[in-house]
């Protein structure tokens, strides 16, 4: 067996330097620094598993420990860790075991240092996005109402102005007061490649290719723990999954976007946590690639949550330049208490815009036949001699009213709808609950109101049309 070559002094020095570059400092222990150990065992020796002892070493080494509460990231840095500083990870803990031994002459466990680092970080918390917003100074040039037109190319209308201002103010509100009530999703519609996602990224972090504060990961259908993980540290969350969603999935998505908190137990955690929402959702939808025509993608009757707008030429560079001032103005609007909802007139207009995106609903066609037949039959049955008929509504058994006045009405029961539409056989529903929602949405489109009839003493569920609403049908 060949004898191993003996290294020269120069070669040994190079090997030591290479090792030091990898581990950050020499392996030989330095002169131990004095530590007043909080927890000792035996003859005054430090308990190697004590979090308190680890904390004493961390402070003696002058490490900078911080907790980014928005991204839920633990950050550790300091000269003693050399290039090993940054996000708290296993290799940082292992390095600290070594540095702690060099500094004190005692080796504490990884478990002790891990707990000690977490505790030191928790004592020094910061919120980067909140700090950023508080640092902004608005130049008093209005941009908030018109940003969708100026930067995203959307047609300038009073509705678009209101929606744009509300979205940005809601984004600020979700940071300043996590969990703020906000129930809407702005949907950017446009051809593929229009840079819709890039615009959302810029709003999130100031760059069109960065992922900080931004996500487009699929979130619908994930369990609560995964959803909590996906929304942690996100400010603007792109929903790029609207196309092709099944009806049941769209109902689930509608319910999901209105949540104010994520409630789950994180992996390896001992307790369930409620995490107030810090993000707003912005949908993106690709229009027809050939014609640019409007594509129908929303469930019938599902208009309230969605705020669709057609994008034009998106000016990425100008949006990136003006982002700080846009958010500064949104911060002012938040401080002034701007409402995060539309007024009644604009709400009706917004519903109309969303209704134009509704998918064709075979149920509406089926029920339109029921509508005409039922009205004629009910007019004869309900008021053959011109008798006045009142129908009880949902709220506390009060009569169905227009203003403060009870009105005569036509009425059709749930069972009559089901039988007349032959819905169970024709549509083969997988869920009667979603089925019922579909019927309710279709009947509303046809002008019927869901009510409870209490005229006979028992309660019967169904739908009503007031006499005033029947006149245009010649009934």
pLDDT per residue over 334-369, tens digit each? 999 999 999 999 998 998 888 888 776 666 656 665
**Sign of the alpha-carbon dihedral angle for 405, 409, 413, 414:** negative
**Sign of the alpha-carbon dihedral angle for 314, 315, 316, 319:** negative
Element containing residue 234 per DSSP (H, E):
strand 234-239
How does 10-41 read in b/e, with b if 16+ C-beta sit within 10 Å? Answer: eeeeeeeeeeeeeeebeeeeeeeeebebeeee
Q: Where in the chain is the domain with CATH 3.40.50?
A: 128-355
* Tens of pLDDT, residues 358-402: 776 666 656 665 555 555 554 444 444 444 444 443 333 333 333
pLDDT at 200: 96
Q: Is 23 left (phi over 0), alpha (psi -120 to 50) or beta?
A: alpha
pLDDT at 247: 59
Q: Are 333 and 219 in contact (CB under 8 A)?
A: no
Query: Is the pTM of the predicted complex or chain greater than 0.75?
Result: no
Helix (H, G, I), strand (E, B) or coil at 280: strand
Residues of the chain with pLDDT under 50: 1-2, 4, 18-19, 21-29, 378-408, 421-434, 467, 470-475
How does 234-244 read in b/e, with b if 16+ C-beta sit within 10 Å? Answer: bbbbbbbbbee
Closest to 208 (Cα-Cα) out of 311, 321, 320: 320
Closest to 108 (Cα-Cα) out of 97, 95, 120, 93: 97
Q: How far apart are CA 441 and CA 325, in angstroms?
A: 42
Number of residues that make up the chain: 475
Closest to 21 (Cα-Cα) out of 83, 78, 112: 83
Task: Evaluate whether the domain defined by 128-355 bears CATH number 3.40.50.
Answer: yes
Find the distance separating the first CA and the last CA of the chain, reported in whole Å: 110
Closest to 286 (Cα-Cα) out of 187, 389, 431: 187
Q: How far apart are CA 417 and CA 174, in angstroms?
A: 43
Closest to 464 (Cα-Cα) out of 414, 404, 423: 414
**Sign of the alpha-carbon dihedral angle for 408, 409, 413, 414:** negative
């Amino acid at each position: 067996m060949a004898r191993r070559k003996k290294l020269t002094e120069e070669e040994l020095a190079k090997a030591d330097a290479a090792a030091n570059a990898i581990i950050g400092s020499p392996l030989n222990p330095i002169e131990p620094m004095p530590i007043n150990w909080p927890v000792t065992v035996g003859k005054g020796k430090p308990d190697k598993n004590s979090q308190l002892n680890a904390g004493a070493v961390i402070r003696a080494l002058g490490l900078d420990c911080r907790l980014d509460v928005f991204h839920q990231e633990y950050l550790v840095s300091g000269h003693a860790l050399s290039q090993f500083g940054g996000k708290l990870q296993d290799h940082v803990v292992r390095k600290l075991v070594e540095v702690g031994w060099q500094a004190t002459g005692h080796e504490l466990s990884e478990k002790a240092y891990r707990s000690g680092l977490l505790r030191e970080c928790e004592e020094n918390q910061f919120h980067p996005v909140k700090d950023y917003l508080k640092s902004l100074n608005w130049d008093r040039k209005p941009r908030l109402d018109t940003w969708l037109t100026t930067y995203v190319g959307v047609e300038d209308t009073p509705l678009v102005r209101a929606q744009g201002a509300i979205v940005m103010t809601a984004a600020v509100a979700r940071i300043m007061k996590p969990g703020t009530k906000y129930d809407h999703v702005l949907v950017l519609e446009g051809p593929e490649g229009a840079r819709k996602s890039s615009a959302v990224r810029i709003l999130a972090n100031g760059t069109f290719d960065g992922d900080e504060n931004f996500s487009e990961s699929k979130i619908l259908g994930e369990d609560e723990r995964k959803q909590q993980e996906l929304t942690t540290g996100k400010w603007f969350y792109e929903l790029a999954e609207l196309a092709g969603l099944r009806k049941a999935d769209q109902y689930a998505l509608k319910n999901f976007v209105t949540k104010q908190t994520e409630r789950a137990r994180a992996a390896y955690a001992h307790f369930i946590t409620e995490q107030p929402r810090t993000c707003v959702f912005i949908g993106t939808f690709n229009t027809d690639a050939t014609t640019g025509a409007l594509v129908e993608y929303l469930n019938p009757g599902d208009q309230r949550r969605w705020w669709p707008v057609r994008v034009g030429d998106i000016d990425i560079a100008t949006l990136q330049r003006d982002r700080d001032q846009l958010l500064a103005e949104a911060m002012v609007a938040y401080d002034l208490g701007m409402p995060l909802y539309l007024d009644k007139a604009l709400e009706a207009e917004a519903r109309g815009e969303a209704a134009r995106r509704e998918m064709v609903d075979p149920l509406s066609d089926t029920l339109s036949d029921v509508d005409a037949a039922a009205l004629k039959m009910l007019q004869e049955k309900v008021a053959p001699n011109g008798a006045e008929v009142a129908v009880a509504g949902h709220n506390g058994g009060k009569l169905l009213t227009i203003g403060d006045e009870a009105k005569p009405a036509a009425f059709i029961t749930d069972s009559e709808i089901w039988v007349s539409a032959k819905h169970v056989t024709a549509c083969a529903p997988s869920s009667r609950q979603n089925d019922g929602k579909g019927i309710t949405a279709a009947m509303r489109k046809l002008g019927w109101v869901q009510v409870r009839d209490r005229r006979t003493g028992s309660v019967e569920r169904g739908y009503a049309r007031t006499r005033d609403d029947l006149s245009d049908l010649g009934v």
